[in-house]
């Protein structure tokens, strides 16, 4: 809002102005009233208004002296509108010499005042933006104001003048989208304008503003495009490919229809943004509103069955299968004309589902960074090819991590199994019975045990039994069949055979050697 100070020695004039003008609708707010120039000077220092609307004839310090004092004190940024009931050319001429914005006669006509305020707001907006940015991109700020305003034809004049389009007719709004990942998008307004200026000399005069991050709105004069390139489609494609080359990343161009005058540019702006919603359905490039206006879009997510299938295939580590599923998903996005929001929703269900698998396996989502970024960030600037590429990389990363988690879990399981074997080796255990107890396939368990400990299951159990038998032979006078039973052998002869196989002596010889040494 621009701050306004009203200065007039007539109370009812000040109150009348407040009620007469729709200040807020025009982006103004009344911050104070003064009844003479001297009071106004004090209030200007305190309130720092953007605009002073002042009468000329006032006691103590009149309007012209007020303006002169402000200018002498360095108030060159303050705007003035002078109102007066005195139809005196000398007053008007002196006011203009001081740099007042407008001179309006009493009684104030509301339409005349509104027109003056609207024009002034545009000028002050341009100056404010230029100061804030330190850049001379005023045409862009005017264009931004233009597409956001509901203008009548008679109100378009200030915009036409500000944009330097007084001789032009036939306009088209275009939206350029830079297709890059969020962390890779380094194109700001300066870079975009520089890239645009490389195409043709005259493009430096095209009004441009940054509509969203990575999206830049442009206003083209249709007759100049046709004059330059011989046709509108050729011109738009030339600009798109030129920007792609200069910026080093793919660019798409979405355009509204051609409108006859500046007051209708808002319509072309809305149409260009509607064309952008068809980018996945049309495949990018140049998309004109005329080619999509009668085509429906699909706004729902993918079926739960397709999402579940992809998640299961990633969890299983079946890369060939999930690649095929992913190909099918992206073919559906294009063929059934999914909106960007529907595509985002569908992929979000996939990413959250896979992340849930990681969490259920006690994994860290920091280890699936690509998937985490897809879940957390918007990818509205990506085209379908880039989106598919990045999504595939993300689920491949997740698939590898899930496989690692499964290995870790398997290691945890085999440790528990080994502890069980160590505690029960003397019982009648087998690979099959242990596998059944731990709900595992016996063949898989045998391979896992050998991979984890470098020994076959049967060899490990035999080693445990023989070591315990040697201890009993050293410390007790138990008979051979008693020792065999205690260490898990149901047959004493088989015990002796296996002991000899491992120790190269019989159990009796092992005990006798100990006795001889004593």
| DSSP secondary structure string for all residues of 387-430 | HHHHHHHHHHHHHHHHHHHHHHHHHHHHHHHHHHHHHHTTSS--
Q: Pick the last residue of a domain from 64, 99, 131.
A: 131
What pLDDT does residue 83 have? 86
What pLDDT does residue 218 have? 92
Size of the chain, expressed as the number of residues it contains: 518
Does some domain include residue 409? no
Q: Pick the last residue of a domain from 131, 146, 170.
A: 131
371 and 450: one domain?
no
Neighbour tally for 383: CB within 10 Å: 19
What pLDDT does residue 409 have? 67
Contact between 321 and 281 (Cβ < 8 Å): no
Give the DSSP H or E segment for 43: helix 37-47
368 and 455: one domain?
no
Does some domain include residue 322? yes
Does some domain include residue 60? yes
Mean pLDDT, all residues of the chain: 85
108 and 77: one domain?
yes
Q: Pick the last residue of a domain from 292, 323, 343.
A: 292
Average pLDDT over residues 53-66: 83
Buried-state track 486-496, b at ≥16 Cβ within 10 A, e below 16:
ebbbeebeebb
CA dihedral 431, 437, 443, 447 (to 10 degrees): -80
The CATH number of residue 88's host domain is: 3.40.50.2300
Contact between 216 and 209 (Cβ < 8 Å): yes
Average pLDDT over residues 144-153: 76
Does some domain include residue 212? yes
Structural domain containing residue 465: 425-517
Q: What are phi and psi of 456, to 5 degrees?
A: -75, 155
18 and 95: one domain?
yes
Query: Out of 110-114, 142-146, 276-280, 454-458, which region has the weakest mean confidence (pLDDT)?
Result: 142-146
Does some domain include residue 446? yes
125 and 234: one domain?
no
Number of domains in the chain: 4
313 and 263: one domain?
no
391 and 499: one domain?
no
149 and 286: one domain?
yes
476 and 450: one domain?
yes
Band of residue 51 on the pLDDT scale cut at 50, 70, 90: very high
152 and 265: one domain?
yes
pLDDT in tens, 452-484: 888 999 999 999 999 999 999 999 999 999 999
The CATH number of residue 309's host domain is: 1.20.272
The CATH number of residue 155's host domain is: 3.30.70.270
Band of residue 93 on the pLDDT scale cut at 50, 70, 90: low
Does some domain include residue 414? no
Does some domain include residue 417? no
Measured distance CA(290)–CA(259) in Å, rounded = 13
184 and 285: one domain?
yes
186 and 259: one domain?
yes
The CATH number of residue 438's host domain is: 1.10.10.60
Q: pTM of the entire structure?
A: 0.57
Band of residue 182 on the pLDDT scale cut at 50, 70, 90: low
Does some domain include residue 204? yes
């Amino acid at each position: 809002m621009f701050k306004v100070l009203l200065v007039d020695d007539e109370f009812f004039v000040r109150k009348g102005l407040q009620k007469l003008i729709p200040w807020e609708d025009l982006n103004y707010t009344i911050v104070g009233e003064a009844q003479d120039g001297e009071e106004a000077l004090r209030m200007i220092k305190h309130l720092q208004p953007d605009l002073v609307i002042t009468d000329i004839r006032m006691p103590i310090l009149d309007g012209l002296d007020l303006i002169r004092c402000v200018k002498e004190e360095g108030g060159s940024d303050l705007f003035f509108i002078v109102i007066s009931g005195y139809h005196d050319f000398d007053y008007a001429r002196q006011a203009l010499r001081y740099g007042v914005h407008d001179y309006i006669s009493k009684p104030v006509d509301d339409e005349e005042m509104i027109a003056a305020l609207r024009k002034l707001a545009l000028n002050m907006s341009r100056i404010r933006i230029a100061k804030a940015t330190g850049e001379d991109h005023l045409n862009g700020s005017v264009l931004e104001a233009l597409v956001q305003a509901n203008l009548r034809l008679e109100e378009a004049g200030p915009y036409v003048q500000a944009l330097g389009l007084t001789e032009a007719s036939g306009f088209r709004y275009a939206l350029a989208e830079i297709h890059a990942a969020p962390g890779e998008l380094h194109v700001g307004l300066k870079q975009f304008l520089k890239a645009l200026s490389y195409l043709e000399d005259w493009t430096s005069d095209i009004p441009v503003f940054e509509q969203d991050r990575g999206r830049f709105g442009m206003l083209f004069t249709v007759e100049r495009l046709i004059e330059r390139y011989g046709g509108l489609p050729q011109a738009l494609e030339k600009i798109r490919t030129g920007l792609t080359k200069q910026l080093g990343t793919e660019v798409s161009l979405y355009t509204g229809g051609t409108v006859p005058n500046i007051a209708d540019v808002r319509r072309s702006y809305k149409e260009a943004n509607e064309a952008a919603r068809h980018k996945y359905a049309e495949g990018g490039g140049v998309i004109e509103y005329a080619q999509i206006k009668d085509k429906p879009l699909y706004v729902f997510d993918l079926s739960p069955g397709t999402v579940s299938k992809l998640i299961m295939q990633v969890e299983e580590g079946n890369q060939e299968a999930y690649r095929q599923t992913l190909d099918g998903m992206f073919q559906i996005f294009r063929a059934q004309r999914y909106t960007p929001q529907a595509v985002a929703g569908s992929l979000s269900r996939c990413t959250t589902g896979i992340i849930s698998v990681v969490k259920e396996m006690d994994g860290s989502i920091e280890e699936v960074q690509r998937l985490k970024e897809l879940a957390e960030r918007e990818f509205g600037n990506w085209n379908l090819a880039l989106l598919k590429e990045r999504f595939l990389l993300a689920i491949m990363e997740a698939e590898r991590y899930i496989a690692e988690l499964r290995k870790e879990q398997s290691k945890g399981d085999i440790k528990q199994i080994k502890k069980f074997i160590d505690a029960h080796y003397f019982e009648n255990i087998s690979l099959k019975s242990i596998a059944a107890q731990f709900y595992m396939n016996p063949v898989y368990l045998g391979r896992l045990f050998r991979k984890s400990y470098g020994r076959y299951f049967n060899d490990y159990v035999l080693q445990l039994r023989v070591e315990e038998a040697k201890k009993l032979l050293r410390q007790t006078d138990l008979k051979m069949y008693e020792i065999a039973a205690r260490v898990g052998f149901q047959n004493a002869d088989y015990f002796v055979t296996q002991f000899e196989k491992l120790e190269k002596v019989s159990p009796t010889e092992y005990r006798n050697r100990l006795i001889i040494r004593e």
